[in-house]
Amino acid sequence: MKDIRNFVIISHIDHGKSTLADRFLEITNTIPRNKIRPQYLDMMDLERERGITIKMHPCRLSYKKHGQEYILNLIDTPGHIDFSYEVSRALAAVEGAVLLVDATQGIQAQTIFNLEMAQKQGLVIIPVINKIDLPQAQTTETKKQIANVLKRDANEVLEISAKKGINIDKLIDLIITKIPGPDGINELNKPLRCLVFDSKYDSFKGVIVYVRVLEGKIENGEEIYCLTSKVKSKNKQVGTFSPELMPAKEIKAGEIGYIATGIKEIEKIRIGETITTLRDFKLLGQKIMPLSGYKEPKPFVFLTVYPEKSKDFDLLKSALGQLKLNDASLFYQLEKKPIFGRGFLCGFLGLLHAEIVIERLKREFKIELVISAPNVVYKVILTNKKEEIVYSSFDWPDPAIISETLEPKVFLEVITSLKYLSRISELIKQRGGTAIETTSLGQDRLILRTEIPLREIITDFYEKLKSLSQGFASMNYQLSEYGRIDLVKVNFLINNKEEMSLAMILPKAKAEREARNFLIKLKTVIPRQIFSVALQAKIDGKIIARETISSFRRDVIAPLYGGDYTRKRKLLEKQKKGKMKKKSLGQIRIPAKAFLDAMRTT
């Protein structure tokens, strides 16, 4: 066990985590140089297409130093704020973390958030600056920022280029010398206790759990027992990650590996479960204490998901269950007020998280969906003093019985350069932020702290922030409390037909502007028809905004040359009647992605 090193790479999005993981795979010869491709550990097509890490990815590396072989268990983690729960689970499975910072952008808000989580876990932090080869790199200033945050000497920060392979061997040496091995914490002769930090579903092997073995060992084919769910089974396989699943005879204390549980009922095993062997449980029973597990994440964004074809309901239910295994931050439950047949209320950590899940349902499970407009969770106080929780517009009570409405707020942290301070402060004020506090982070760098409505954060705030700061500002937020606000329900009509899935809950003061912006965006995502389509927004029966999608026009009089004008008039009248008939019968299909796209611009 003294030769094992368990560590993660944590950083902000686009700071080079996946590229650094590629270099580790090359140097340790885990993947031959001629077979490696960029973002090798990013297994999903969506990850490669978007250039971001969505899922944590464990990998076992073998490295020789001075004739001694070391096992390096690496976990590559996401950098986007919507996937921070992936990072928190990975941190609980390791002893050390490589803190990676882009030399061209400096330390970012999400970097500090992840760093604080790692420090709470008591992990050894190895600070590293990446992209030192770029001409715009501000290496000296970035080192000072990291040293200031970590309260260390700037000379302790290692300079690397993951792309060109500069100083990667020095980084591996630091991992071996600075990060402690797991011995002294774990003992092989103790009963098995391993923590489930991730999982996925296999139709042949059942639920495959990713585990950190803290005590004891487990052999291939041994019977297992889940201490929390009280489920027993015979494991079909154990092994490690290379980075694909690599079967082994056993996995033991100090190692990161997987167990193919053979359990086919998805709901019987959860992230944070403690697994032991059935033999140890029969011998010791309640003396084997479950591990502390993980704090359940709170979803911020809710939307309702329906299968386009009612016969696909069971397929959707199964798909959500399998995604929940692979994405512990996904929340779903049966919709209590179904509008379009049976469906599910789903909760997400942000709009990007929602987009990814919707796209995975379509790609991996071939399900066409109808989704509602995304909402945060509101509270409504009724005239009888009763409090109701509103997850979606379908839950909105009759305005006549509403006494008070409240919305969730968040503590927001923004890291920016001094020259963008006034622009960003103005953006925060426009979005309802109050009492902006500033703290210096070193030369020309500031942290802005404020409280702001959550709904302002989950729309296009991040994109606006990046635009105003030319891409250099970053943000992080945590849920605060509920505050009073005057809210209304806005309904939308397409072709004079009310589309219930489009309904939104908006602040009354901004309802008309935001509804109009939504219609303008909707106009660009709904395909044109052979008849004109009216898009309208209304509150309590009053139309407050309108846009029109113009029809395709065929020049029916083009073949005519000269002649009586009445002939042309007859053709135009015939065309007009045909369009009116089509309009009365026509069905408008709204792409599911339209809601998510439109929300980003309202």
Is a pLDDT exceeding 70 seen at residue 225?
yes
Beta strands in 21-67 (DSSP E): 57-65
- Give the residues across from 304 on adjacent strands: 345
Structure tokens at 530: 């052979």
Q: Are 243 and 302 spatial neighbours (Cβ–Cβ below 8 Å)?
A: no
Q: Could you give the percent of the chain with pLDDT greater than 70?
A: 90
Of the pLDDT bands very low, low, confident and very high (cuts 50, 70, 90), residue 469 is confident
Unique residue bearing structure tokens 């065309």: 575
- Give the residues across from 390 on adjacent strands: 378
More confident residue, 331 or 84: 331
Distance of CA 441 to CAs 86, 97, 173, 350, Å?
Answer: 27, 22, 30, 27
Is a pLDDT exceeding 50 seen at residue 585?
no
Count CA atoms within 13 Å of residue 391 on its CB side: 18
Of the pLDDT bands very low, low, confident and very high (cuts 50, 70, 90), residue 584 is very low
End-to-end CA distance of the chain: 54
Distance CA 25, CA 62 (A): 9
pLDDT tens sequence across 432-450:
988 788 888 777 888 899 9
| Amino acid 291: pLDDT | 87
DSSP classification of residue 483: E
pLDDT tens sequence across 405-428:
999 999 999 998 888 999 999 999
Contacts (Cβ under 8 Å, ≥6 apart) of 35: none
Q: Are 459 and 517 spatial neighbours (Cβ–Cβ below 8 Å)?
A: no
Distance CA 536, CA 162 (A): 52
| Amino acid 53: pLDDT | 83
Distance of CA 265 to CAs 208, 268, 339, Å?
Answer: 12, 6, 29
More confident residue, 437 or 126: 126
Mean pLDDT, the chain, as a whole number? 87
In the three-class reduction of DSSP (H, G, I as helix; E, B as strand; rest coil), residue 572 is classed as: helix
Query: Phi, psi (5° rounding) for residue 204?
Result: -100, -40
Query: Quick one: which H or E segment has residue 450?
Result: strand 445-453
pLDDT tens sequence across 236-266:
999 999 889 999 999 999 999 999 999 998 8
Is a pLDDT exceeding 70 seen at residue 601?
no
Is a pLDDT exceeding 60 seen at residue 581?
no
| Amino acid 596: pLDDT | 60
Structure tokens at 539: 């509150």
Query: Phi, psi (5° rounding) for residue 234?
Result: -105, 120
Of 281-295, 384-398, 509-523, 524-538, the range with the lowest mean pLDDT is 524-538
12: closest CA among 130, 179, 143?
Answer: 130
Q: Alpha helices, DSSP H only, in 260-375?
A: 278-284, 313-326, 351-365
| Amino acid 434: pLDDT | 83
DSSP classification of residue 457: I
| Amino acid 274: pLDDT | 94
Of the pLDDT bands very low, low, confident and very high (cuts 50, 70, 90), residue 592 is low
Distance of CA 239 to CAs 63, 89, 182, Å?
Answer: 19, 20, 19
Q: Are 96 and 125 spatial neighbours (Cβ–Cβ below 8 Å)?
A: yes
351: closest CA among 375, 317, 369?
Answer: 375
Of the pLDDT bands very low, low, confident and very high (cuts 50, 70, 90), residue 198 is very high
CA angle 198, 250, 209 (to 5 degrees): 15
| Amino acid 577: pLDDT | 61
More confident residue, 341 or 317: 317
| Amino acid 602: pLDDT | 46
DSSP classification of residue 508: T
Is a pLDDT exceeding 50 seen at residue 345?
yes
Mean pLDDT of 46-53: 81
DSSP secondary structure, 219-279, as one string:
ETT-EEEETTT--EEE-SEEEEESSSEEEESEEETT-EEEEE-----GGG--TT-EEEEHH
Distance CA 260, CA 206 (A): 7
Is a pLDDT exceeding 70 seen at residue 555?
no
**Which domains does the chain show, CATH number per domain?**
4-178 (3.40.50.300), 193-287 (2.40.30.10), 301-371 (3.30.70.870), 378-484 (3.30.70.240), 488-599 (3.30.70.2570)
In the three-class reduction of DSSP (H, G, I as helix; E, B as strand; rest coil), residue 454 is classed as: helix
Q: Are 231 and 223 spatial neighbours (Cβ–Cβ below 8 Å)?
A: no
Of the pLDDT bands very low, low, confident and very high (cuts 50, 70, 90), residue 382 is very high
Is a pLDDT exceeding 50 seen at residue 502?
yes
pTM above 0.85, yes or no: no
Highest mean pLDDT among 66-70, 185-189, 343-347, 527-531: 343-347
Distance CA 494, CA 519 (A): 10
Of the pLDDT bands very low, low, confident and very high (cuts 50, 70, 90), residue 31 is confident
Contacts (Cβ under 8 Å, ≥6 apart) of 387: 379, 380, 381
Q: Are 85 and 17 spatial neighbours (Cβ–Cβ below 8 Å)?
A: no
Sign of the Cα torsion 159, 163, 169, 173 reads positive
